[in-house]
Amino acid sequence: MQLLSESIYDELELADTLVENAVGYFQLPFSMAPGITINSKRYPLIPLVIEETSVVAGLCKNILFINSHGTISASQYGGGFIGQIHFPDIKNQKSFERNILACKDHLISKANQNPCKSMLERGGGVKDITVRLISRTDGKTMGVIHVLVDTKDAMGANIINQTCEYLKPIVEVESGEKSLLCILSNYNTEKITKVEITLEGIDETLAKRIEEASLIAQFDPYRAVTHNKGIMNGMDAICLATGNDWRALEAGMHGFAARNGQYQGLSNWIANGKQLKGTLEGPINVGIVGGVTNIHPQAALALRCLKVESSTELAYVIGTIGLIQNFAALRALVTDGIAKGHMRLHLKNLLKQTDATAPEQEKALKLLEKIFDTKHYVSANDARNVLKELRS
């Protein structure tokens, strides 16, 4: 607990390792939620790093509800990460694709003997190379080479980028075309994680209302964005805690949400009498080795608390917490409304902005709750007025 309760370091050595021009640390709350069981395996504690009011409270409440009412299963299909070598203007489309595919085995072998050698020894490495041709609006054609790299339990951004840079001059010679850039893709459709929660003995009206609320996010992109933001509240919090790249996760999941040409909700809830089944899938690309996960002591602590044994298991936990957070939000929305769930913590924040003492805050909190029940909203002025009445 000392590691969590004190400042990370008095020295800036770690910060200088992570970023340029470090002048200090910006700390966020590190919380723990109750454990969950996925595919019959227990994950005892869920570490979360997030500052948003009521997210952890909502998660804890609904984790306990789900633990007592249902089961969680998860699976992953596909494998590897996509690296891209881009050719903005292909002169000869047919020969480009033909030449690259003809030397595919040679390219894979070269990559695995050089930049991916250590990855290959761990059972990973380059597994496949494919070619895409994309028509431009100006009549030209773009060419994209996809390099599929199995990075095992690492997220592997650096090794993917290095592999593509290594292959770039080789494919330029083989294709007779000129490449502009090489970079991994965070929209990784080659490895998709799917999580499913099945709840039994649910109130039929509640189940149906949650199904309808879920359906709204499939048709209305304005609602879908907020629907998915709630999902990412849970997913990002674990990513931050474990030292993973939450921006990459966000980009990939939002890209997946628009895969059908319209931005849609990432989750689906289906009611069947007293049964409610929720599913969530997407590219949850994370790692448990390499990068920040290896050098940040709190990230290492978070992984020890989770007791995950692979990046796949971590993806399962992240997806599950995202889906539970979604359930928590929908459950609140279709019953008491989202404001009531946020209210108590919001009122505490309002009172902290005043000079109220601890005893005054307790009394004022009860009065503000009564105001909320009557007006359905509370302002900073209400907090100041209540405090003034208590002191008069």
Tell me which DSSP letter residue 152 carries.
T
**Quick check: is 382 catalytic?**
no
Tell me which DSSP letter residue 154 carries.
B
Catalytic residue among 150, 190, 245, 313: 245
* The Cα angle at residue 262 between residues 218 and 89, in degrees rounded to 5: 155
**Quick check: is 369 catalytic?**
no
d(CA 6, CA 299): 15
Catalytic residue among 152, 191, 227, 342: 342
Quote the crossing angle between the two packed helices 311-333 and 55-69, to the nearest 10°: 100
Catalytic residue among 140, 229, 352, 366: 229
d(CA 295, CA 143): 38
Catalytic residue among 16, 52, 89, 200: 52
d(CA 285, CA 89): 31
Q: In what order do the strands lie in the sheet with 70-78?
A: 70-78, 191-199, 275-282, 267-272
Q: Is 11 exposed, middle or buried, given 0-12, 13-18 or 19+ CB atoms closer than 10 A?
A: exposed
**Quick check: is 342 catalytic?**
yes
Put residue 353 in one of left, alpha, beta given phi > 0 → left and psi -120 to 50 → alpha.
alpha
Q: Tokens representing 152?
A: 């095992």
d(CA 128, CA 348): 55
**Quick check: is 146 catalytic?**
no
Active site residues: 52, 229, 245, 342
